[in-house]
Homo-oligomer: A and B are copies of this chain.
Amino acid sequence: MSEPDSKRLKTTGDEPEYELVYWPGIPGRGEFVRLLFEEAGVAYADPARTSPDKAVAQVLAATDAGANPPVLAVPVLKHGAVTLSQTPSILLYLATRLGLAPAATETAFYHLNQACLTILDGFCTEVHETHHPVATSLHYEEQKPEAKKRAKAFIEERAPKFLAYVQRLVDSGDGPWLHGDSLTYVDLVLFQCIDGTSYAFPKTMAQLKASGKYDGVFKHYEAVKERPNIKAYLASERRAKYGDGIWRHYPELEDTIEVEVTVNE
């Protein structure tokens, strides 16, 4: 938290209460967690910006975790004595504490989790599969023919299918947010997913946007982007640039494919 513009974040003492452990240099899945802190204006330690490799290695190797079960992958949230992994679980844990989700005693808690999981399936996990359809242990260049096939299916079928679902989700609410009359963490998750997917597949997303069939989704995207804390964050140095993470831009994965926006959804 050495960036000057991070000073606007509230702190609860000398050290931030929360720490996010994630790979350095990319937004990735860590970005969903960051967006919650930024929107809420809550300070968080983010060693990806200072001593990244050490932090990730330590958290993955931990065996003396006491009450904390082992974790397989980052992002990991550290909060006091708690160590927690798996993005959707971190988001649930944090969102209720940061005022970005109703309590678990309400059905909406589970409905928001449902929406979160579906959005992540479509625009995070499946986007990663487009460039790594065979093995995460191989380079993209080693699975390019398979990636082209997988990307074709994503462009022609999966992206329209998930966008249509999200449009239904937007329509089911009273607007502008997905649930109730105030923003929840799932609005931030959807924003990041549309942002990342638009980076990875710019032509595809532009054509799908131009179809006019998902106006609610893209309007929602702009509404989140204009939230004061999110706007300031996106303009800051804390926002990592896209690179070799989940959302990658390989022009060849969409250049030869015609988006069929009238495809069956």
Contact = CB atoms under 8 A, between A and B. Distances in A.
A93 B70 CA distance: 24
Interface in A70-112: 70-73, 82, 84-86, 88-90, 92-93, 96, 103-105, 107, 109-111
A168 B70 CA distance: 7
Interface stretch (A35-43, A44-52, A60-68, A202-210): A60-68
Count this chain's copies in the assembly. Answer: 2
Interface residues of A, number: 55
A149 interface: yes
Nearest to A165: B72
A117 interface: yes
A201 to B, nearest CB: 16
A133 interface: yes
Given A72-B165, A92-B113, A153-B134, A86 B172 contact: no
A57 interface: no
Interface string A157-196: 1000110010011001100001100000000000000000
| A104, A114, A150, A165 interface centre (most CB from chain B within 10 Å) | A114
A92 B110 contact: yes
A197 to B, nearest CB: 16
A161 B72 CA distance: 9
A216 to B, nearest CB: 13
Contacts of A105: 104
A173 B168 CA distance: 42
A105 B65 CA distance: 20
Find the residue from A70, A153, A157 having the highest chain B CB count within 10 A. A70
- Secondary structure at chain A's binding surface: helix, strand, loop or mixed? helix
B70 A169 contact: yes
A113 B86 contact: yes
Given A82-B107, A135-B157, A146-B133, A169 B117 contact: no
A26 interface: no
Contacts of A96: 104
Contact of A69 (B72, B153, B172): B172
A88 B161 CA distance: 21
